[in-house]
Chains A and B, each alone.
Chain A
């Protein structure tokens, strides 16, 4: 077996960055902090690429890709006991390498690297520049640690760390009330989901009698004693296995912004734009998908109904998010809903998949889409970053005609939009076709939803594209009035353009990777057969969506407004994102606060505090009472000393006899 000891450095390098920048970033390393953070993540990215080369290369070299029995086996690269409480219970730290974790470290470290580079230009001149890079490094560490976790408890630790660093980054502009509110909202909503996750972990590990993924999956997919005990125990009519898996999925749904726990994601766009690219598009939000994929054998082999929940939640989220994206006017919110929609695709692809062989197409397609989506969605966000940097506004209505001023951004953004719309030969086409094929093979309803959503996707993405880059001279005037904006492209620094070009190349070429030879549900390479005829419907629908967007938004016209007023109420309903936020506000403010919050506050103020205050004054009273003991006189001390001995002797010789 090859030596993978260096893997530990992949998360540790960003951690070192966080520690150094956290301690010294504000003063000593101030000017240098961006370079330091970027250098460390670059090293981590190179190590990740080497790891991928070694892992997949060795697998292929050993037995040949197409030959049977050449599965990529999970490798426990390292493992040590962190805390041992008793012989039966210890918490380990381990590094697990399997196709999905290797793929994820590549994705996470590369996107993180791009964002680090981009931020050099974007965040230049920020007062808390060093702090920003410290937080970015913390996030990279947590995310890399999350994907490499070899046991479920370790994953939970990193899961929370990811949540924490996301909170810090969303609230980076802490002097803006909206950013503070958004970071709190993200934290509370995901925390709510994490509670489910934690209970799920406890159920699975209690019955599985292990925290380790490999052992857990083995025990829960074969008729072992643990499997029998967890399936025979039931609660409210469902087996505890279903409960455990569903609760774990709720945790994943919170982090991945699945309906109805998605409300934090659009608000999270208050963070700096590169952060949105890294966390709320490419990496953190797919943690939920990764989690389901990690436990996929258990879902698939032992509890198909739970997997059904995953499929329907994913499909519904994909559809509803796409509809909401069609009416938003804030560029980053459109991208946020589009992210939610694409993650919905990944979820339902997992949901319709089976374990092993060709039936595992959905699993492979989901991971493939995760991979391609990370690239083009990060690209879209970074393009948005460039645009916002130039226009100083998030509103699409304030933009237009920017293609002449930002030609490079225009090309990159176009590539990304084509990729997400599933137009061949861009990367999104390949992954989306396979998702739809997998859905077609197992569930026609979900296929229909996916197909319709892909048309919507093309429409709202090109609505964004045309609004920004075409549609009349509006934006030109605006930018011309801006004294900072010179001619054409001069003011966008190289550090911001380079990541765009790299990611755009990725969006062009990533689809050509024979992904199914590397990442499959059981590690066995499969060959995919997507008939050409199958692609006609989605591509045609996407082209129709693009055409509609061009007709509505290609030039200045009042067509969009007329259309909006024609469907009036429906438009407003969607525009206000189905009033989901308002429903939540109603539930929390009116119902929870009045029925639970107020009585609890009363009990806290009058009974708990009263008890505590009483205890405190009692303690103070006793303390004053015995003050005399410490008189400072030696003779008193000697007296207490002898009394103590005499007392102990009498007590234990005559009274408290054993």
Chain B
């Protein structure tokens, strides 16, 4: 048991271990310069990523079914380890001048550990715990621009919105528990056909269906809140705008991606009997989300807010992929999240560098950036091309697989809507690129000296954007794992 425990929990333990190390450093932190600490943390995160990548694929179930892991889940966690490392590297310039850099990492890594437990959750209680464990530190992180009022506002809005969604999520969970007497996802899944039947004994078949649908809608709203699906998305723009850029990046990529992974597992196992209902729900929400995200993004003048709404639109696309058949849906979503991680972190990385050095975040401020900062401009352009889904960037392949997966159901009106939305999104992405490369500006952002660590992170992002699509085995590998839920 002891060895099995350590082997199965390896990735979680590694993250927690780093938090503990940081705690000890904190006790004597007066003695170290912030730069030294930042360097150490980044090395630790790098080791963490490497250890995760070298981990032997194991199939483990722990805590009486409360926690499970397998090769696919290990891969998902590795993706997040990579994302966290990239964000940490990009945050270097901002944290260098921050007096609470260590606390930033403790909170960030607690969040990550929470997400890991959530993805691995074997029952709804563990899922809920993981979710909360990730949410509360994130609220504190949103407040990390201590002098800015907007940052505090973001934190308050985030924690209050989370409270609604948690309450409703718990309500949904308790309805399910009340009806079936179990919280275990495996049992819920195994009782696929029994679940409505058992409830039908109590409520009559119509009533049982209604109860199940209602419980599902409540659970769905919990997920939808986290991944900013319309109409549960309203907190997103305010929180994204107010939070420090690295936190925004983390929110938009990692916390969202993790919830997607948990969501897709629940959809295709526990709620498979409701597939016909949730298919229609997802179609409806996907269309709403894409349209709303795009229409709002069109009007934004601040880059962070634009990226916030664009990330909402991207969520709509991921929902399109989710409606396909289980394996292709799973594979296309995981692949897209990997691609999205590189593209979005590339874009946010540039914003983070520019914002940390100049404080400028408006699209107009970026006019003429190419003249002074060609490297940053190219990173931004490649990332935005990938977000817009233009070949040969990985974003194209990601969107392609999502749409192919969605098209598997033969609902072509829906797929056409998604394709149309890709066209709309092109407008605002290209607007930024036009500002950077073509518009003249009398007072462009000056030549920025980029530190080594953020530069490495940006190059990794660009390499990821360019290579993930062209290397066919990436998708093949993900696809080969995707049948295991």
Q: With A652-B213, A658-B276 given, is the CB distance from A629 to B221 under 8 Å?
A: no
Q: Does B476 contact A (CB under 8 A)?
A: yes
* Minimum Cβ distance to chain B for residue A82 (Å): 4
Contact across chains for B298 and A619 when beta carbons are under 8 A apart = yes
Q: With A652-B280, A653-B210 given, is the CB distance from A640 to B298 under 8 Å?
A: no
Q: Does A645 contact B (CB under 8 A)?
A: yes
Q: Does B296 contact A (CB under 8 A)?
A: yes
Report the separation of the CA atoms of residues A84 and B471 in the bound assembly, to the nearest whole angstrom: 11
Q: Among the listed stretches B132-140, B182-190, B234-242, B354-362, which one makes contact with chain A, having 4 or more residues with CB under 8 Å of it?
A: B234-242
Which of these, B234, B238, B298, B476, contacts A81 with CB under 8 Å?
Answer: B476
Contact across chains for B476 and A84 when beta carbons are under 8 A apart = yes
Q: Does B277 contact A (CB under 8 A)?
A: yes
Contact across chains for B168 and A645 when beta carbons are under 8 A apart = yes
Contact across chains for B472 and A643 when beta carbons are under 8 A apart = no
Which of these, B160, B210, B214, contacts A634 with CB under 8 Å?
Answer: B160
> Whose C-beta in chain A lies nearest to the C-beta of B231?
A644
Residue-by-residue, is A640-651 near B (CB-CB < 8 Å gives 1, otherwise 0)?
111111001100
* Minimum Cβ distance to chain A for residue B32 (Å): 36
> Whose C-beta in chain B lies nearest to the C-beta of A631?
B234
Size of A's binding interface in residues, CB under 8 A: 32
Q: With A623-B299, A627-B299, A641-B234 given, is the CB distance from A649 to B168 under 8 Å?
A: no
Report the separation of the CA atoms of residues A632 and B241 in the bound assembly, to the nearest whole angstrom: 12
Contact across chains for B225 and A641 when beta carbons are under 8 A apart = yes
Contact across chains for A640 and B234 when beta carbons are under 8 A apart = yes
Residue among A624, A626, A630 with the highest chain B CB neighbour number at 10 A: A630
Contact across chains for B298 and A653 when beta carbons are under 8 A apart = no
Q: Does A235 contact B (CB under 8 A)?
A: no
Report the separation of the CA atoms of residues A619 and B427 in the bound assembly, to the nearest whole angstrom: 12
Report the separation of the CA atoms of residues A632 and B237 in the bound assembly, to the nearest whole angstrom: 9
* Minimum Cβ distance to chain B for residue A84 (Å): 6
* Minimum Cβ distance to chain B for residue A485 (Å): 42
Size of B's binding interface in residues, CB under 8 A: 37
CB neighbours (8 Å) of B156 from chain A are: 634
Report the separation of the CA atoms of residues A80 and B424 in the bound assembly, to the nearest whole angstrom: 36
* Minimum Cβ distance to chain A for residue B193 (Å): 16
Within 8 A of A (CB), among B196-222: 209-210, 213-214, 217-218, 220-221
Report the separation of the CA atoms of residues A649 and B213 in the bound assembly, to the nearest whole angstrom: 7
CB neighbours (8 Å) of A626 from chain B are: 292, 295-296
Q: Does A579 contact B (CB under 8 A)?
A: no
Residue among B161, B232, B295, B473 with the highest chain A CB neighbour number at 10 A: B295
CB neighbours (8 Å) of A643 from chain B are: 231
* Minimum Cβ distance to chain A for residue B466 (Å): 11
CB neighbours (8 Å) of B164 from chain A are: 638, 641-642
Q: Does B281 contact A (CB under 8 A)?
A: yes
CB neighbours (8 Å) of A32 from chain B are: none
Residue-by-residue, is B279-311 near A (CB-CB < 8 Å gives 1, otherwise 0)?
011000000000010011011000000000000
Q: With A641-B221, A648-B217 given, is the CB distance from A84 to B277 under 8 Å?
A: no
Residue among A81, A84, A637 with the highest chain B CB neighbour number at 10 A: A637
Q: Does B323 contact A (CB under 8 A)?
A: no
* Minimum Cβ distance to chain B for residue A501 (Å): 42
Contact across chains for B280 and A656 when beta carbons are under 8 A apart = yes
Contact across chains for A641 and B424 when beta carbons are under 8 A apart = no
CB neighbours (8 Å) of B157 from chain A are: 634, 637
CB neighbours (8 Å) of A527 from chain B are: none
Report the separation of the CA atoms of residues A58 and B214 in the bound assembly, to the nearest whole angstrom: 73
Q: Does B165 contact A (CB under 8 A)?
A: yes
Contact across chains for B472 and A83 when beta carbons are under 8 A apart = yes
Contact across chains for B277 and A644 when beta carbons are under 8 A apart = no
Within 8 A of A (CB), among B445-465: none
Which of these, B281, B295, B296, B424, contacts A648 with CB under 8 Å?
Answer: B281
CB neighbours (8 Å) of A83 from chain B are: 472
Within 8 A of B (CB), among A67-107: 80-85
Residue-by-residue, is B394-422 near A (CB-CB < 8 Å gives 1, otherwise 0)?
00000000001000000000000000000
Report the separation of the CA atoms of residues A641 and B236 in the bound assembly, to the nearest whole angstrom: 13
CB neighbours (8 Å) of B210 from chain A are: 653
Within 8 A of A (CB), among B341-396: none
* Minimum Cβ distance to chain B for residue A26 (Å): 11
* Minimum Cβ distance to chain A for residue B44 (Å): 32
Q: Does A620 contact B (CB under 8 A)?
A: yes
> Whose C-beta in chain A lies nearest to the C-beta of B237?
A630
Report the separation of the CA atoms of residues A632 and B153 in the bound assembly, to the nearest whole angstrom: 10
Can you show 9 pairs from A to B with CB atoms below 8 A apart?
A80-B472, A81-B472, A82-B472, A623-B298, A630-B237, A637-B235, A641-B164, A642-B164, A649-B214
In order of increasing CB-CB distance, the 10 nearest A-B pairs are A644-B231, A637-B234, A658-B276, A623-B295, A82-B472, A653-B210, A649-B217, A648-B217, A640-B231, A645-B221
9 further A-B contacts with Cβ under 8 Å, apart from A82-B472, A637-B157, A653-B209, are: A84-B476, A85-B404, A622-B295, A630-B237, A637-B234, A640-B232, A648-B220, A652-B217, A653-B213
